[in-house]
């Protein structure tokens, strides 16, 4: 029972819940993102990078948003932003790469090459009927999206995406014709099964390229995205979603959060980009009557040390996350982790929510699939954070 909406160029979009995951790489300093300004300990620990009360965008008497987050604050005030205060996993790892792997694979103890979104894509499209069920924007496919045998597409930018893009014009068309014929999976003898696999994969890739390249064709919008790569990634996601290609999982990345030094300036720049891009993205969807179809998770691999280092902050654990969308019951979730020295874990905020509980909530209440096999266990969910999409 689904209804369809036009996107303005005649194509039909099926209403389905869509998840966008936005990764902030480098370890976002949550303490300076949603700032516990009501706690005097904050200013004791953040003598140089602390943000003064009058600069913050207050949420209540305890916490306020970073001053660069005006657009996200406005989404929050509309009730569309859930803030997960204090998120992490047991035995935190302060290596960027290992911690990111843990978030990508939902596996804190063992190494795994299976991404949680790869498994999600397999669950959403077990017959592989749609080669663009999962689409990542950015440089290379994140491990979160990878699962051997499950198609997932990686696009650096939509405008230049394609097969055989080093050729142009007639040459490229001829080469694509040749490619189509060269990759026809034929009946091979058993020893040649791998040829058949490569053929099918090649044709899948070509189909994905054709679909995605056509996405911007019928798109028009009054929203003018910024020119930074994150804004352009979110614009690409909006274009693909509005084209009605049936993509259910999108991924975008934004880097530079590793603020050991020069934190004040860096974080302000990064969050102003995120804040504007997220607002523009949802405004664009709203203009096309699609804003309730998308929920966005914003996460980072870890938070940072409670005490600043004089110019920035070093790797810590216990960070925070955001869930954004019209079907989100906005507000602050869980108590802000205590800053008291006795409550800290080796100088970090103790996490009080396992990230796999947030994944589970998104999978169960938004995408409508059983979370446990995807997140490797059963985790407590945030009841009522998400309302299902009415089809």
Partner 1 sequence: MDEDRSLIAHLLRRAGFGATPSDIDAAAAAGYEATLDDLLHPERFERPAEDLLARFHSEHSDEESPRWAAIKWTYRMINSRRPLEEKMALLWHGVFATGWAKVTNGQMMQRQYEMLRDNGLGNFRTLLQKLSRDPAMIYWLDQQSNHSEAVNENYGRELLELFSMGRGNYTEDDVRACARAFTGWTMTQVLPRYPTGYWPAEFVYREEDHDNDEKTFLGETGNFNGDDVIEIIVRQPATATFVAREIYRAFVADDVDEDHVQEIADAYVRYGYELRDVMRFVFESDFFKHARFKRVKSPIEFVVGTVKLAGEHRDPHQFNLARLPALSAMMGQELLNPPTVEGWHTGREWIDSAFLVERVNFAAEKLGDSSAPGIAEIASRIRSGHTSASAADLLDACAAEAGGVNLNESTRSAILNELSVQDEIACEGPELDDAVAEALALIGASREYQFA
Q: Return residues touching partner 1 (CB under 8 A).
A: 93, 95, 97-98, 101, 111-113, 131, 136, 139-141, 143, 146, 148-149, 151-154, 163-167, 170-171, 174-175, 177-179, 181-184, 186, 191, 193-195, 197-199, 201-202, 204-205, 208-209, 260, 309, 314
Separation of alpha carbons 287 and 8, rounded Å: 11
- In the complex, least distance from residue 119 CB atom to partner 1, rounded to whole angstroms: 15
Three-state DSSP at 184 gives coil
Please identify, using beta-carbon distances, which residue of 82 and 147 lies nearer to partner 1.
147
Element (H, E) at 171: helix 169-182
- In the complex, least distance from residue 201 CB atom to partner 1, rounded to whole angstroms: 5
Report residue 281: phi and psi, to 5°.
Answer: -60, -50
Closest by CA to 155, choosing from 235, 271, 97, 84, is 235
Please identify, using beta-carbon distances, which residue of 147 and 231 lies nearer to partner 1.
147
Please identify, using beta-carbon distances, which residue of 168 and 227 lies nearer to partner 1.
168
- Could you tell me how many residues make up the chain? 391
Please identify, using beta-carbon distances, which residue of 59 and 152 lies nearer to partner 1.
152
- In the complex, least distance from residue 365 CB atom to partner 1, rounded to whole angstroms: 29
Q: Specify the long-range contacts of residues 388-391, CB closer than 8 Å, at least 24 apart.
A: 388/17, 388/327, 389/15, 389/16, 389/17, 389/292, 389/293, 389/327, 391/1, 391/2, 391/3, 391/15, 391/16
- In the complex, least distance from residue 279 CB atom to partner 1, rounded to whole angstroms: 30
- In the complex, least distance from residue 213 CB atom to partner 1, rounded to whole angstroms: 12
- In the complex, least distance from residue 199 CB atom to partner 1, rounded to whole angstroms: 6
Instruction: Report whether 251 contacts 202 (CB < 8 A).
Output: no
Structure tokens at 198: 């490569």
Please identify, using beta-carbon distances, which residue of 74 and 309 lies nearer to partner 1.
309
Show Cβ contacts of residue 194 under 8 Å, excluding neighbours closer than 6 positions: none
Please identify, using beta-carbon distances, which residue of 107 and 284 lies nearer to partner 1.
107
Three-state DSSP at 328 gives strand
Please identify, using beta-carbon distances, which residue of 188 and 224 lies nearer to partner 1.
188
- In the complex, least distance from residue 32 CB atom to partner 1, rounded to whole angstroms: 18
Please identify, using beta-carbon distances, which residue of 21 and 83 lies nearer to partner 1.
21
Separation of alpha carbons 30 and 97, rounded Å: 18
Instruction: Report whether 294 contacts 325 (CB < 8 A).
Output: yes
Separation of alpha carbons 383 and 328, rounded Å: 11
- In the complex, least distance from residue 15 CB atom to partner 1, rounded to whole angstroms: 26
Please identify, using beta-carbon distances, which residue of 16 and 314 lies nearer to partner 1.
314
- In the complex, least distance from residue 56 CB atom to partner 1, rounded to whole angstroms: 28
Separation of alpha carbons 212 and 216, rounded Å: 8
Burial class (CB in 10 A: 0-12, 13-18, 19+), 283: middle
């Amino acid at each position: 029972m689904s209804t369809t909406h036009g996107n303005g160029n005649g194509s039909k979009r099926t209403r389905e819940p869509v998840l966008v995951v936005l990764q902030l790489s480098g370890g976002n300093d949550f303490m300076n993102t949603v700032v516990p300004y009501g706690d005097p300990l904050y200013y004791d620990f953040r003598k140089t990078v602390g943000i003064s009360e009058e600069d913050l965008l207050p949420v209540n008497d305890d916490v306020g948003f970073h001053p660069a987050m005006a657009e996200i604050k406005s989404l929050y005030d509309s009730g569309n932003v859930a803030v997960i205060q204090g998120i992490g996993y047991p035995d935190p790892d302060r290596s960027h790469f290992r911690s990111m792997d843990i978030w990508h694979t939902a596996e804190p103890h063992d190494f795994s090459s299976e991404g949680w979104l790869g498994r999600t894509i397999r669950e959403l499209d077990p017959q592989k009927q749609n080669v663009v069920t999962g689409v990542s924007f950015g440089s290379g496919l994140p491990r979160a999206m990878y699962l051997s045998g499950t198609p997932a597409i990686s696009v650096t930018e939509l405008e230049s995406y394609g097969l055989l893009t080093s050729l142009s014009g007639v040459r490229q068309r001829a080469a694509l014709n040749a490619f189509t014929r060269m990759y026809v999976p034929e009946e091979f003898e058993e020893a040649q099964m791998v040829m058949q696999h490569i053929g099918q994969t090649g044709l899948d890739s070509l189909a994905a390229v054709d679909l995605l390249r056509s996405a911007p064709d019928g798109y028009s919008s009054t929203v003018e995205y910024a020119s930074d790569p994150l804004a352009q990634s979110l614009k690409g996601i909006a274009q693909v979603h509005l084209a009605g290609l049936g993509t259910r999982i999108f991924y975008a990345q934004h880097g530079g959060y590793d603020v050991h030094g020069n934190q004040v300036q860096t974080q302000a720049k990064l969050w102003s980009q995120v804040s504007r891009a997220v607002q523009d993205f949802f405004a664009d969807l709203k203009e096309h009557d699609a804003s309730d179809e998308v929920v966005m998770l914003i996460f980072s691999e870890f938070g940072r040390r409670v005490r600043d280092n004089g110019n920035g902050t070093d790797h810590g654990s216990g960070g925070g996350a955001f869930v954004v969308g019209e079907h989100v019951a906005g507000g602050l979730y869980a108590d802000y982790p205590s800053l008291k020295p006795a409550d800290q874990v080796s100088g970090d905020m103790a996490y009080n929510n396992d990230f796999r509980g947030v994944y589970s909530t998104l999978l169960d209440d938004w995408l409508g699939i059983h979370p446990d096999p995807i997140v490797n266990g059963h985790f407590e969910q945030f009841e009522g954070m998400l309302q299902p999409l009415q089809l």
